[in-house]
Amino acid sequence: GENVEQHPSTLSVQEGDSAVIKCTYSDSASNYFPWYKQELGKRPQLIIDIRSNVGEKKDQRIAVTLNKTAKHFSLHITETQPEDSAVYFCAARGGGGADGLTFGKGTHLIIQP
Amino acid sequence: DGGITQSPKYLFRKEGQNVTLSCEQNLNHDAMYWYRQDPGQGLRLIYYSQIVNDFQKGDIAEGYSVSREKKESFPLTVTSAQKNPTAFYLCASSPTRTGYEQYFGPGTRLTVT
């Protein structure tokens, strides 16, 4: 089955700086890669996603890049703000049907004032 | 994701008892999913359903059972056979049968003692 590795587990950046979180996946047939933001005790919220036929997608301060050859994808947050502090999860959906998502273990992003 | 509800928010049970977690959605979504989240871990797929009266095992289905008698409802039963049932349980739904764009409910925190 699919395996998703996520790094780093904790990331501390100064407010206004950029943050980058990286994930690798194992199944070359995976075709959908969402990112979720989860605040303490709350539900994960879908913040951006990318499909395998696209290399990059941007939504305001958030962008995701995908390298299918290397089987890795990354989340980029620019001009970080205090409300960006949360745990971020990457995930991959395997090819061939609705197998659900395989998640990374999460990155705790801390925005320092 | 406001159209996905889970109840109760907190649930306490004694070891050896079965317990059923509720998940309802009014979004007319086809697919529904159950994930389990443990502290410091990503989400892991328990079961999913693409259509009424059909469901598939995920990565960690042992000790769990589900039903999908109505499109809006996908209850999860945690049986006494589940060795470590204490966790945060999250239900999700997707407008497609292929698993894209999964939106989560608020979760049920189950504690078994």
pLDDT in tens, B11-49: 999 999 999 999 999 999 999 999 999 988 889 999 999
What pLDDT shows up at residue A96? 57
What pLDDT shows up at residue B93? 96
Test the A interface: residue of B23, B25, B36, B43 with most A CBs within 10 Å: B43
As a whole number, mean pLDDT of residues A10-26 equals: 98
As a whole number, mean pLDDT of residues A36-53 equals: 94
Give me the residue from B42, B59, B101 closest to A49, CB to CB. B101
What pLDDT shows up at residue A95? 65
Q: In what order do the strands lie in the sheet containing A62-67? A: A4-7, A19-25, A72-77, A62-67, A56-59
- pLDDT greater than 90 at residue A85: yes
CA distance A48 to B34: 21
**Residue recorded with tokens 């009266």:** B53
Structure tokens at A11: 């990331």
CB distance A64 to A78 below 8 Å: no
Neighbours of A89 (CB within 10 A): 26
Average pLDDT, chain A: 94
| Tens of pLDDT, residues A52-64 | 888 999 999 999 9
As a whole number, mean pLDDT of residues A22-38 equals: 95
Structure tokens at B52: 């009424």
Q: What's the DSSP call for residue B86?
A: -
Contacting residues for A68 by C-beta, under 8 A, at least 6 apart: A28, A52
- Phi-psi sector, B45: left (phi>0), alpha (psi -120 to 50), beta: beta
A-chain residues near B105 (CB < 8 A): 43
Nearest chain A residue (CA) to B6: A43
What percent of chain B has a predicted confidence (pLDDT) above 70?
98
Check CB contact under 8 Å for A103 and B102.
Answer: no
What pLDDT shows up at residue A24? 98
- pLDDT greater than 90 at residue B97: no
- pLDDT greater than 60 at residue A44: yes
- Phi-psi sector, A28: left (phi>0), alpha (psi -120 to 50), beta: alpha
CA distance A109 to A8: 9
CB distance A90 to A33 below 8 Å: yes
Test the B interface: residue of A43, A50, A59, A105 with most B CBs within 10 Å: A43
Measure Cα distances from B104 to A21, A82, B24, B32 in Å.
22, 24, 11, 10
